[in-house]
C-alpha cells in the first residue's frame, strides 16, 4: 500500500493555491523523511477566469523547483471538466521529466469523456489516476458502474473519492467489491472528514486491498478537510510497525497547525450535516469562511437542500402605507451604544422618522422609544431577537425578510409570525441582495425615505481587521455605491465611520 500526500493541491482551496515558499520548502524536506511515495503538488490548468495561485497552474519553473528538493514521485491533477483533449499536449509535454502521475478529477457522469482524456495522457508516458468523485451517490448509477471496466489497460489506479465525507466503513467494503468485480486496476481511497470517519474508512479500504491512500498534513483540504497524514502514519506505525521519523512528522505538522489557526479547516456541525446527507461542501465552505451566516442559518439551508424545497416558509410581501421622510438605519457598531442618548433625543425631537435595525444587536437599548421600528431578519436574527427580548409577546416592531426564496432558509419565532413580511425584491443591486445592509436600504425605499441616516456603521474603526471583517466592509461599501448610483438619496452617517460612501456628519449638529 502506498500513500499519496496531496496537502498543497487540496489545501489550496483555503489559500487559493498560494503558499509561503518557506512553508513549502519545510513541507518538501520533511516529507523526504517520511514513508509517503507520492506528492500531489497542485493542479495544471488552462487559463480560467478569476485569480488562482501558482499551485493551481503549476508553471514549469515551480515544478522544477519542487523536483530539486523532493525525493518523491510528483503528481499533478487535471480538472476533467475544464480540460479539452486538444489542450493535453501543451499542458503536459513540459512536465514529462518532472511528473510521474497525472490524475483526473472526474464526475461519474463524465466517465466516458474522462477515458478518452486518460488514453491521451497515458500515451505520453505518464501514470494515470482516475479520481472519481461523489462515491456516496454511486449506488444505482449502473451506466457509470458498467463503464469502469473500460479503464483496464489505461488506469494505474482508480480512486474512490468520498467527496461529501459521508461514507461509512460498510459502504467502503461494498463499493470496493463493486469496483473490484469490474476491473483489475489497483484501487485507491480519498476520504473527507465531515463525519470524522476518514481514518477508519481509509483503514477499511486498506484491509479490503486498497493499494493507495490519500492524506494531507493536519487534514488540510476543501471543506471539512481530509484524512490527516500524521494520523494515518501514526496509526500504521502502531498497528503495522511502519518505520516513522516522528521528528520530521512533528516539524511539518506544527507548521501547518499554525496555518490552520488562520484558515480554520476541519469539521463542524454544518459540515457534519452536509456529509451525512451527501450535500455539496462548496456552499458550506463559502458560508463559513467568507460570510457571516450563523450555524443555525447554515443548517436550515442544508435541510432545505436535503428536503429539496426552495425555502421552508413564505410570508406576505412588505407593503407599508405609512411613509417616512427620515429613516435611521442602526448597525451593530459600538457607536450605537456610545451615542444612544443623542439618538434618542434625535428621534424624540424629529417628526416623521422611524428606525430600521439592520442588526438587532442593540435593539434592547432602543426598545422603549415611541417610534416605529423595523427589524431585518437576515440569517440568524430571529434567534437573536429571542435572546435579546425576554418576552416577545409585547414585541411591537415589524420584521422584514429577504425576498423568497431565501438561500439560507428561514427561521421566525412563532409568537411574532403575524408581524413578519418579506421583500418582493431588492431593486438597486442584483448582488448581495440578502444581506443586512441590502435589506435595510430596500426597506428605506419601501418606506418612502427622503433622508437616510446611519448609526453604528463604524466599519471596525481603530483596530486591525481579519479577513472576514474586511470582506464585510467591502461588501457594504459595494452596496452603498450601488445604492448611490440607483437613487438620488443621500446616505449620511451621524456617528464616526470609515465607510467612504457614507457622508460624515455629526448627530449632535441635529440636536
Which of the four pLDDT bands, split at 50, 70 and 90, describes residue 173?
very high
Which of the four pLDDT bands, split at 50, 70 and 90, describes residue 291?
low
Average pLDDT value for residue range 178-186: 93
Rounded CA-CA distance 475/164 in Å is 30
pLDDT of the residue at 365: 92
Strands in 30-110 per DSSP E: 38-43, 73-79, 101-106
Rounded CA-CA distance 486/480 in Å is 10
Contact 373, 397 (CB under 8 A): yes
Rounded CA-CA distance 425/361 in Å is 25
Q: What percent of the chain has pLDDT over 70?
A: 98
CB atoms within 10 A of CB 414: 7
pLDDT of the residue at 319: 86
DSSP label at 195? T
- Per residue in 214-264, pLDDT (tens digit) is 999 999 999 999 999 999 999 999 999 999 999 999 999 999 999 999 888
Contact 173, 204 (CB under 8 A): yes
Average pLDDT value for residue range 421-425: 94
Q: What percent of the chain has pLDDT over 90?
A: 71
Cis peptide before 405 (omega within 30 of 0): yes
DSSP label at 185? S
Number of H helices, E strands in the chain: 19, 16
Residue 75 has pLDDT above 60, yes or no: yes
End-to-end CA gap in the chain: 77
Contact 154, 115 (CB under 8 A): yes
Rounded CA-CA distance 201/496 in Å is 54
Rounded CA-CA distance 148/439 in Å is 50
What dihedral angle (degrees, nearest 10) is formed by the CA atoms of 503, 509, 510, 511? 150
- Give me the phi and psi of 375, to 5 degrees please: -120, 125
Rounded CA-CA distance 349/400 in Å is 26
Sign of CA dihedral 138, 142, 143, 148: positive
CB atoms within 10 A of CB 483: 23
DSSP label at 106? E
Q: At what angle do helices 269-276 and 281-289 cross, to 10 degrees?
A: 170
What DSSP string describes 462-482? Answer: TSPPPHHHHHHHHHHHHHHHH
- Give me the phi and psi of 215, to 5 degrees please: -160, 165
Rounded CA-CA distance 456/312 in Å is 32
Cell of 451: 433622508
Residue 298 has pLDDT above 80, yes or no: no
Residue 290 has pLDDT above 70, yes or no: no
Q: At what angle do helices 198-208 and 169-182 cross, to 10 degrees?
A: 40
Beta-sheet pairing, 187-191 with 212-215: parallel
- Per residue in 436-491, pLDDT (tens digit) is 999 999 999 999 999 999 999 998 766 677 777 788 889 999 999 999 999 989 99
Average pLDDT value for residue range 67-87: 96
CA-based radius of gyration for the chain: 27
C-alpha distances (whole Å) from 56 to each of 6, 18, 37, 305, 322 are 13, 8, 22, 30, 55
What DSSP string describes 345-390? Answer: HHHHH-SSEEEEESS-TTGGGGTT-SS-EEEE--TTHHHHHHHH-S
Among the ranges given (292-301, 328-337, 451-460, 484-493), the one the predictor scored with the smallest mean pLDDT: 292-301
Residue 57 has pLDDT above 90, yes or no: yes
Q: In what order do the strands lie in the sheet with 451-455?
A: 420-422, 398-401, 373-376, 353-357, 326-330, 451-455, 491-493, 503-504
Contact 501, 493 (CB under 8 A): no
Average pLDDT across the chain, whole number: 91
pTM of the entire structure? 0.75
Distance of CA 197 to the CA centre of its chain: 21
DSSP label at 228? B
Q: How many CA atoms lie within 13 A of 241 on its CB side?
A: 0
pLDDT of the residue at 434: 86
Rounded CA-CA distance 472/41 in Å is 32
- Give me the phi and psi of 378, to 5 degrees please: -105, 140
Average pLDDT value for residue range 79-94: 95
Rounded CA-CA distance 496/505 in Å is 8
CA nearest 330: which of 353, 352, 294, 362?
Answer: 362
Among the ranges given (177-186, 262-271, 336-345, 500-509), the one the predictor scored with the smallest mean pLDDT: 262-271
CB atoms within 10 A of CB 130: 26
Contact 392, 420 (CB under 8 A): no
CA nearest 489: which of 500, 497, 477, 480?
Answer: 480
pLDDT of the residue at 429: 92
3-state SS, 269-294, equals HHHHHHHHCCCCHHHHHHHHHCCCCC
Among the ranges given (140-144, 233-237, 331-335, 492-496), the one the predictor scored with the smallest mean pLDDT: 140-144
Average pLDDT value for residue range 393-401: 86
Contact 316, 412 (CB under 8 A): no
Amino acid at each position: 500500500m502506498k500513500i499519496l500526500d496531496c496537502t498543497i493541491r487540496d489545501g489550496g482551496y483555503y489559500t487559493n493555491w498560494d503558499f509561503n515558499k518557506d512553508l513549502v520548502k519545510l513541507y518538501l524536506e520533511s516529507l523526504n523523511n517520511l514513508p509517503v511515495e507520492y506528492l500531489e503538488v497542485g493542479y495544471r490548468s488552462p487559463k480560467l477566469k478569476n485569480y488562482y495561485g501558482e499551485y493551481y497552474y503549476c508553471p514549469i519553473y515551480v515544478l522544477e523547483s519542487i523536483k530539486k528538493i523532493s525525493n518523491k514521485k510528483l503528481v499533478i491533477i487535471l480538472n476533467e471538466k475544464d480540460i479539452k483533449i486538444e489542450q493535453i499536449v501543451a499542458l503536459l509535454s513540459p512536465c514529462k521529466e518532472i511528473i510521474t502521475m497525472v490524475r483526473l478529477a472526474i464526475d461519474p457522469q463524465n466517465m466516458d469523456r474522462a477515458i478518452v482524456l486518460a488514453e491521451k495522457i497515458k500515451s505520453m508516458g505518464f501514470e494515470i489516476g482516475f479520481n472519481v468523485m461523489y462515491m456516496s451517490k454511486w449506488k444505482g448509477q449502473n451506466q457509470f458502474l458498467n463503464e469502469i471496466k473500460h479503464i483496464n489497460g489505461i488506469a494505474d489506479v482508480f480512486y474512490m473519492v468520498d467527496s461529501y465525507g459521508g461514507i461509512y466503513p460498510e459502504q467502503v467494503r461494498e463499493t470496493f467489491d463493486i469496483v473490484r468485480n469490474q476491473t483489475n486496476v489497483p484501487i485507491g481511497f480519498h476520504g473527507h472528514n465531515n463525519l470524522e470517519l476518514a481514518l477508519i474508512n481509509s483503514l477499511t479500504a486498506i484491509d479490503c486491498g486498497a493499494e493507495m491512500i490519500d492524506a494531507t498534513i493536519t487534514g488540510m483540504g476543501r471543506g471539512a478537510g481530509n484524512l490527516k497524514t500524521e494520523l494515518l502514519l501514526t496509526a500504521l506505525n502502531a498497528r503495522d510497525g511502519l518505520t516513522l521519523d516522528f521528528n520530521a512528522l512533528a516539524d511539518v505538522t506544527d507548521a501547518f497547525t499554525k496555518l490552520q489557526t488562520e484558515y480554520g479547516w476541519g469539521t463542524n456541525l454544518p459540515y457534519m450535516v452536509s456529509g451525512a446527507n451527501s450535500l455539496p461542501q462548496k456552499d458550506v465552505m463559502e458560508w463559513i469562511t467568507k460570510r457571516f451566516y450563523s450555524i443555525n442559518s447554515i443548517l436550515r439551508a442544508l435541510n432545505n437542500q436535503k428536503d429539496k424545497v426552495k425555502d421552508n416558509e413564505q410570508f406576505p410581501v412588505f407593503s407599508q402605507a405609512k411613509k417616512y421622510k427620515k429613516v435611521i438605519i442602526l448597525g451593530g457598531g459600538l457607536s450605537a451604544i456610545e451615542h444612544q442618548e443623542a439618538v434618542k433625543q434625535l428621534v424624540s425631537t424629529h417628526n416623521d422618522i422611524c428606525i430600521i435595525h439592520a442588526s438587532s444587536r442593540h435593539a434592547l437599548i432602543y426598545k422603549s422609544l415611541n417610534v416605529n421600528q423595523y427589524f431585518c431578519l437576515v440569517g440568524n436574527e430571529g434567534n437573536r431577537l429571542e435572546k435579546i427580548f425576554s418576552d416577545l409577546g409585547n414585541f411591537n416592531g415589524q420584521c422584514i425578510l429577504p425576498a423568497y426564496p431565501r438561500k439560507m432558509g428561514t427561521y421566525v419565532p412563532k409568537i411574532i409570525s403575524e408581524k413578519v413580511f418579506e421583500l418582493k425584491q431588492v431593486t438597486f443591486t442584483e448582488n448581495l441582495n440578502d444581506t443586512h445592509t441590502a435589506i435595510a436600504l430596500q426597506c428605506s425605499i419601501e418606506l418612502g425615505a427622503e433622508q437616510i441616516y446611519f448609526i453604528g456603521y463604524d466599519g471596525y474603526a481603530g483596530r486591525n481587521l481579519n479577513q472576514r471583517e474586511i470582506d464585510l466592509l467591502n461588501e457594504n461599501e459595494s452596496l452603498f455605491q450601488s445604492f448611490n448610483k440607483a437613487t438620488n438619496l443621500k446616505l449620511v452617517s451621524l456617528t464616526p465611520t470609515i465607510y467612504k460612501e457614507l457622508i460624515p456628519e455629526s448627530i449632535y449638529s441635529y440636536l
